[in-house]
Amino acid sequence: MKLAAITRADVLAALSEFDRLGRDRFLTTYGFGQARSYYLEFDGRLYDSKAIMGYAHGESAGKRLRYDDFTGGDKSVAQRLRALGFLVRTGRNPDWTRDEIILACSLVELNGWRQLTDNDSRVLELSELLQTAAIHPFEERRSDFRNPAGVARKTADIATRHPNYSGKPTNGNRLDREVLQDFLTRPEEMRSLAAAIHDAIRAGAASVELIPDPDLSDLALPEGDVLRREHLRRERNPRLRAAKIRDAKRRGIPLDCEACGFNFEAAYGDRGREYIECHHRTPLFHSGRTVTRMRDLALICSNCHRMIHRTPKWLTVEELREVATGQQHIEGRRSSDD
C-alpha cells in the first residue's frame, strides 16, 4: 500500500512545505492540479489532500508521488488522512438523501404543495434538524450545508414538479420526483414515515454509529437510512433480547425460531444454549417511537431474520413461516421423485 506507511509527521511536513511555497507554487512544483472534491483542513486552512499525500509519501518512503502515481478519493487519500487524525472536507455538499427529501416534501404538502421561503419557521426548523450528524457527518459538508436557503430551494424543486404546477420546474432530480409521487399515491404512509424520521433525528438515536455488519449490508428497508439505523440499534439492544428470552423461559416456551423451528441448543449443544435473535415485528414508520413490549418482539434464527429483511417489503414472521413450509414441501417432493 503506497499510503499506508505515511505518518502524521509526514503529513505535517507536507503542510509546512505547502505553507512555505503557497498553494499555486506547491501544486506546480510537485505535479498536481487543484483538488476537486477532498480537502484537508488544518488550523483553519484548507489544503489539496491528494497533493499533500503525494509529498508526504516522499517523507515516508523517499519518493514523492505525482498526480498519476496513485488514486485519490474517499477510500484512499481521505481514509488515510482520517486514520491519522486529520479532518477531511469535501468540496461540495453531499447530495440530498431520500430521508431528507421526505422531510422536505412533507413541508411542501403541509403548505398546499407550494414552495416555502427561507424565513419560514418550518424551513428554519428543518434546516436545524438536518444540520445534526444523524444523516451526514460534519466532515462531509461545507459551511452552507442545509442552510435555510438550501432547504427552501429543495421545497421549490419538489413543488414545481407537482402535477398541478403550471410554470417551469426548477432543477430537481429523480429522487425528488419519486418521493413526490409516493406522497401523491400513498399520502398516509408517507406522512407517518416523515414523522418517524423526524422523531428519530430529534431524539438523537439515529446518530449512534453502528458496528458494520457484513451480513446486513444488503438490508432492505422501506423506511430510509435514518430509521434503518434506529431499527438495527433497537434489535441489537442486548437488554431487550435478554428480557424476551427470560419471558419465554418463564412461560415455558422453548427458544425455537418462530418462523422455521430451528433451535440453537439442539443443533450446537452448550454453545447454542439460550441463543436466539430478537426481531421487532413492526417497522418504525408504522409504530413510531413507542415503548417496546414483549409481544412486539419475535425470537427467530439468524437465517430467518435475514430473510425477513431481504426485500423492501418485509415479511411478517407468519408469512415467512408459510414460505419456509412451502419450500420444505417442494424439496420433499423433489426428494421423493429422485
Q: pLDDT tens digits for 42-70?
A: 987 889 999 999 999 999 998 999 988 88
Distance of CA 44 to the CA centre of its chain: 28
What is the residue-level pLDDT of the chain in tens, covering all 338 positions? 578 899 999 999 999 999 999 999 999 999 998 887 788 989 878 899 999 999 999 999 989 999 888 887 777 898 899 999 998 887 778 889 999 999 999 999 999 999 999 999 999 999 999 998 888 877 667 778 899 999 999 999 999 999 999 999 988 889 999 999 999 999 998 998 899 889 888 877 444 444 444 344 444 444 456 766 666 666 767 788 889 999 999 999 999 999 999 999 999 999 999 999 988 887 655 555 556 788 888 999 989 988 887 776 778 899 999 988 877 655 555 555 55
All cell numbers assigned to 57: 509519501
- With beta carbons less than 8 A apart as the criterion, state whether 78 and 38 touch: yes
The alpha-carbon radius of gyration of the chain (Å, integer) is 26
**Across all residues in the chain, what is the average pLDDT?**
84
User: DSSP characters for 117-134?
Assistant: -TT-HHHHHHHHHHTSTT
Tally of CA atoms within 13 A in the half-sphere of 183 that contains its CB: 26
Q: pLDDT tens digits for 138-187?
A: 766 777 889 999 999 999 999 999 999 999 998 888 999 999 999 999 99
**Segment (H or E) for 280:** strand 277-280
Nearest to 93 by CA among 154, 49, 156: 154
* Number of neighbours of residue 45 by Cβ within 10 angstroms: 12
The residue extents of the domains of the chain are 8-90, 98-207, 214-337
